[in-house]
């Protein structure tokens, strides 16, 4: 079986390739990358490296030749994702890919999450294409909170506008192993998996976990979204980005990331998801 992974030089892509290599020979894997210079190590290990930008339909079509199962790792440019993903889906269809697995967002078709519309639109495009699919609706990466360690180191606090909201985060490696499991075996076609950590933590608990890994007292300072935006812009963020961060915190306060997904992620990977504390430890 030939398995293709887009975004293969990204953080989730690399971890997924590593997980796949535990079950597959390198020559069964196709790493689709936009910059081959970043993929020399993959090529040296015998993985077929093919170059294609999400903006290049012809290159994508060629890159997917012979690929039976394809992991489409969502692009990292908000606002560009829908046309980019459309290119990938059309190329996959033209190349005869048999199964597309897509990294989506929690409850993408019904949530208020600010970044969900592009994922919802992509899911719709995949369904309309008629390609067999699986949606991996990944909750937050615990790694998203690495910058909070720096903040806590400097100030002893974690400031957020997340109120009493909870986040069922898991580590990237957990999501990567789940993607590899879905690509490797089992009947996953037509399935939509809400993938999340086993435990949904709140921000006081995040502060305690950050304090533990830093070995110091850390507290949670809840603020209103407008205060957060002001503080982030003073700290150097542009207004659009600060507003987006505040919108995501407001989403969290509203509970959109609290669903632990009934343990589906743990069951796909055959072990508990990485606890918050362990997920944060590498950043101490
Ligand atoms: N669940 C979450 O908490 C969360 C958080 C952040 C992001 N995400 C989403 O999950 C995806 C994977 O996460 P990640 O941590 O692996 O992100 P990442 O490290 O930024 O990787 C993104 C990958 O997409 C590739 N890519 C971006 N634009 C491309 C284009 N135009 N053509 C071809 N390839 C392109 C990048 O290529 P290069 O290697 O050349 O840069 C990289 O390999 C992100 O892209 C984003 O959609 C989820």
Calculate ∠ Cα 255-259-264, nearest 5°: 165
- Percent of the chain predicted with pLDDT > 70: 100
User: If you measure from the C-alpha of residue 73 to the centroid of ligand 1, how many angstroms do you get, rounded to a whole number?
Assistant: 7
User: Rounded CA gap, 252 and 267, in Å?
Assistant: 25
pLDDT of res. 50: 98
Sign of the C-alpha dihedral, residues 108, 128, 136, 141?
negative
Q: Domain range holding 98?
A: 3-138
Alpha carbons 118 and 80: distance in angstroms, whole number: 9
In a domain, 85, yes or no: yes
- Best residue among 15, 54, 76 to mutate for probing ligand 1's pocket (most ligand atoms within 8 Å of CB) is 76
Q: What is residue 138's predicted lDDT score, i.e. its pLDDT?
A: 98
237, burial (CB in 10 Å: exposed 0-12, middle 13-18, buried 19+): middle
Structure confidence by residue, pLDDT tens digits, 133-181: 999 999 999 999 999 999 999 999 999 999 999 999 999 999 999 999 9
| Number of domains forming the structure of the chain | 1
What is the pLDDT at residue 38? 98
Ligand 1 lining (C-beta closer than 6 Å)? 7, 9-13, 34-35, 38, 53-55, 73-77, 84, 103, 138, 140-141, 144
Coil, helix or strand at residue 99: strand
Residue 179 lies in a domain: no
Residue 279 lies in a domain: no
Tell me the H-state helices in the chain. 11-21, 40-44, 57-63, 81-95, 116-129, 146-155, 172-184, 203-214, 225-234, 239-253, 264-269, 276-280
Q: How far is CA 194 from the centre of its chain?
A: 12
User: Quick one: which H or E segment has residue 52?
Assistant: none
Q: What is the DSSP string of 169-238?
A: -B-HHHHHHHHHHHHHSS--TTEEEEE--SS-EEHHHHHHHHHHHHTS--EEEE--HHHHHHHHHHTT--
All residue ranges of the chain with pLDDT < 70 are none
> 9, 10, 147: which to mutate for ligand 1, most atoms within 8 A of CB?
10
Alpha-carbon distances of 95 from 182, 183, 185, rounded to whole Å: 21, 18, 22
Can you give the pLDDT at residue 135?
A: 98
CA of 274 to the centre of ligand 1 (A): 21
What pLDDT is recorded for position 20?
98
Per-residue model confidence (pLDDT) at position 196: 98
- Give domain status of residue 90, yes or no: yes
Residue 171 main-chain phi, psi, to 5 deg: -80, 155
52: CATH: 3.40.50.720
Is 26 part of any domain?
yes
278 lies in some domain: no
Rg (CA), the chain: 19
The predicted structure's pLDDT at residue 99: 98
Task: Give residue-wise pLDDT tens across range 21-36.
Answer: 999 999 999 999 999 9
**Structural domain contains residue 266:** no
d(CA 133, CA 100): 5
Ligand 1 centroid, distance to 162 Cα (angstroms): 25
pTM of the predicted protein model: 0.98
Instruction: Indicate whether 161 belongs to any domain.
Output: no
């Amino acid at each position: 079986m030939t398995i293709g992974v887009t975004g293969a030089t990204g953080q989730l892509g690399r971890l997924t390739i590593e997980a796949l290599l535990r079950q597959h020979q390198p020559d069964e894997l196709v790493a689709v990358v936009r910059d081959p210079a970043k993929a020399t190590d993959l090529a040296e290990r015998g993985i077929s490296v093919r170059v294609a930008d999400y903006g290049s339909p012809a290159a994508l079509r060629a890159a997917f030749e012979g690929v039976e199962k394809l992991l489409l790792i969502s692009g990292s440019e908000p606002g560009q994702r829908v046309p980019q993903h459309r290119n990938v889906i059309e190329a996959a269809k033209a190349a005869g890919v048999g199964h597309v697995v897509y990294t989506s967002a929690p409850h993408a078709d019904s949530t208020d999450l600010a970044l969900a519309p592009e994922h919802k639109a992509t899911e719709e495009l995949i369904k309309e294409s008629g390609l067999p699919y699986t949606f991996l609706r990944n909750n937050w990466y615990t790694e998203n909170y690495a910058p909070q360690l720096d903040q806590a180191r400097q100030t002893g606090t974690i400031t957020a506008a997340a109120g009493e909201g909870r986040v069922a985060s898991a580590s990237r490696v957990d999501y990567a192993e789940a993607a590899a499991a879905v690509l490797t075996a089992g009947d996953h076609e037509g399935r939509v998996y809400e993938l999340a950590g086993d435990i949904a933590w709140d921000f006081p608990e995040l502060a305690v976990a950050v304090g533990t890994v830093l070995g110091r007292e850390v507290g949670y300072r809840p603020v209103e979204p407008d205060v957060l935006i002001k503080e982030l812009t003073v700290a150097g963020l542009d207004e659009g980005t600060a507003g987006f961060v505040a919108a995501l915190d407001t989403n969290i306060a509203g509970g959109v990331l609290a669903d632990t997904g009934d343990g589906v992620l743990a069951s796909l990977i055959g072990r508990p998801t990485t606890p918050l504390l362990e997920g944060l430890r590498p950043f101490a």
